[in-house]
A and B are shown apart, each in its own frame.
Chain A
Amino acid sequence: MNNIRRIAGAIWILLGIAAAYFLIVEQAIPLFAKGDMESLVPAIIYTFILSPIITGGMCVFGLYALQSEYEL
């Protein structure tokens, strides 16, 4: 079971990267492209606040799992 916990770490890192793609490419860039002030707020929040938290957190979590930090 600990092997599964460790190997699954790679999946969490990939999921973190996928989240960044979704938040920046699918959500933020179309909002930036609109150019109006109203769209700018969510675009900035997606890019500079949510992406680092979600992607960074998920990737560090995956890394810790790969390093066997969560073995039970």
Chain B
Amino acid sequence: MNTTMLQNEISEGFDGKKLRKVIAASSVGTLIEWYDFYIFGSLSVIIATKFFPSDNPTAAFLSTLATFAAGFVVRPFGALFFGRLGDLLGRKYTFLVTLLIMGFSTFAIGLIPSYSSIGFLAPILVLTLRLLQGLALGGEYGGAATYVAEHAEPNKRGLRTAWIQTTASLGLFISLLVILATKKSMSLEAFNDWGWRIPFLISIVMVGISYFIRKNMDESPLFAQAKHEGKIVANPLKESFGKKLNFKFVLLALFGATMGQGVVWYTGQFYALSFLQKVANIEFEQSNYIIAISLAAGTGFFIFFGWLSDKIGRKGIMLAGMLIAISTYRPIYQAMYELADVNQKTEKPNSRQSRTDYHMMDGTVTLSKVTRTIYSYTDGSQLLEERTEKVSHLPSVQREKAVVKKTVHVGQQAFWLLILLVFIQVLYVTMVYGPIAAFLVEMFPTAIRYTSMSLPYHIGNGIFGGLLPAVATYLAAKANTANEVAAAAGQSLPYAKPYLEGLWYPIIIGGVCFVIGLLYINGKDREIND
């Protein structure tokens, strides 16, 4: 493109059709990357049994490495690596590469023979591919957001980039849908045996389509102009993080926006699912439906808040979302807990069904006694209680405490109320996340935009958001232990609701981010043409 063409394109903007193509090409690719990243997480239990047997310490070590390193280390590193490339070579080629790396890694995970077939090579290959996934994800988002923002009309940047913002939730939604559909189409044995590979394998089709759409796109006009005018910096990393003038904005973007956004995002989607399954004991399929329906209902609001941010500003919407979220998390999770709590329900008379089975253990000496009891309640809820204990006539076999597993299937009313409560949290996510791409893009100049916005985004989400499960579990476990110690000593319990203690992490992080954002962010800067 010559200078006149570039200037025309920048000043006049693209026609609607071309802009829609830019948005579609960027969003579909990013959506696929999120899908690829999430199916690994959603199928982690099966993956663990196939590749990381828990009785083998080295395999378990590799599993932990795959879980922690992909989010905490590799994502921010991918942001730096691909951000630098994007600021040197261009947005288009860089996010084309991230798409291919992600697609290849996901497809390849679906092909790896299990640990029982090829031994240690299996977990090593899975770990390597998972790290490649994290690397690709770290580079993708910044490229897509920058690419769309640099094409968009200045007064519609929030609306246009909001399409990129829908992709993370849609990626999660589609991953849940594909897993549930695959599971439904075959027996549980077949799914656990080979069916789990299907969600990984079909990714290659989506990546192929997205690659060919992206391949035919032009470079971003702002980047092309900067390159034409010789304004590309030789070392974007040094420029972004070595100069106080830019680095102070990287820190502000992190602590005043993405840190809070990351925890609100993780709480509304992942913590909600984990709470439903592990604390409220709601069965796997029903809890996934609750999240999937809430996500589907909430996704349109990313676009709405992106559009609204063009009208009334980005800062106010993001900070309002953060403030409302941290103020209401505790009552929302309390309500979720109560909706699934069978102690607060009335059991139907004469409806209890119980069955006991005995299984051989340790040769012929010890038996495993499994008692399954189904309790039915007047609101349509059911509780399946599975009690497993060792029984033996021999005095040498020690009696162990029975293991009790509870699974709740909530009634229709509670089901829809739970969807409403999760939907409210998704709404908070859309408030903080919808306008953030436009907000980040507007903070940095073209020459270092890809690098500078990618790092705070992935630290905010990957690190502050990614820490949520570990810290929340730690806080809840600490409260439970304190209660057990107090109960054993005959004292009153220090924590009335230990299951809500994990929420202090998003509340505190979100609160700090809200104050920093309120104090330091200038909500009026909307210029991206440097």
State the A residues within 8 Å of B (CB). Answer: 4-5, 8, 12, 15, 26-27, 36-38, 40-42, 45, 49-50, 53-54, 57-58, 60-61, 64-65, 69-70, 72
Contact = CB atoms under 8 A, between A and B. Distances in A.
Given A49-B72, A50-B463, A53-B463, A61 B61 contact: no
A35 B474 CA distance: 18
A50 B255 contact: no
Contact of B244 (A15, A58, A65, A69): A69
Contacts of B251: 57, 60-61, 64
B61 A45 contact: no
B461 to A, nearest CB: 13
B68 interface: yes
Interface string B512-529: 100110011010000000
B519 A45 contact: no
Interface of B: 57-58, 60-61, 64-65, 68-69, 72-73, 76, 244, 247-248, 251-252, 254-255, 459, 463, 467, 470, 474, 512, 515-516, 519-520, 522
Contacts of B58: 37
Contacts of A4: 519
Contacts of B254: 57
B69 A5 contact: no
Interface of B is mostly: helix
A6 to B, nearest CB: 10
Contact of B65 (A26, A41, A60, A65): A41
Nearest to B474: A27
B459 A53 contact: yes
A45 B68 contact: yes
Interface of A is mostly: helix
Contact of A45 (B73, B248, B516, B520): B73
Contacts of A8: 515, 519
28 contacts: A4-B519, A5-B519, A27-B474, A37-B58, A37-B61, A37-B64, A38-B61, A40-B61, A41-B68, A42-B68, A45-B68, A45-B73, A49-B72, A49-B73, A50-B463, A53-B459, A53-B463, A54-B463, A57-B254, A57-B255, A60-B251, A64-B244, A64-B248, A64-B251, A65-B520, A69-B244, A70-B519, A70-B520
Contact of B470 (A15, A42, A69): A42
A45 B60 contact: no
A26 B58 CA distance: 26
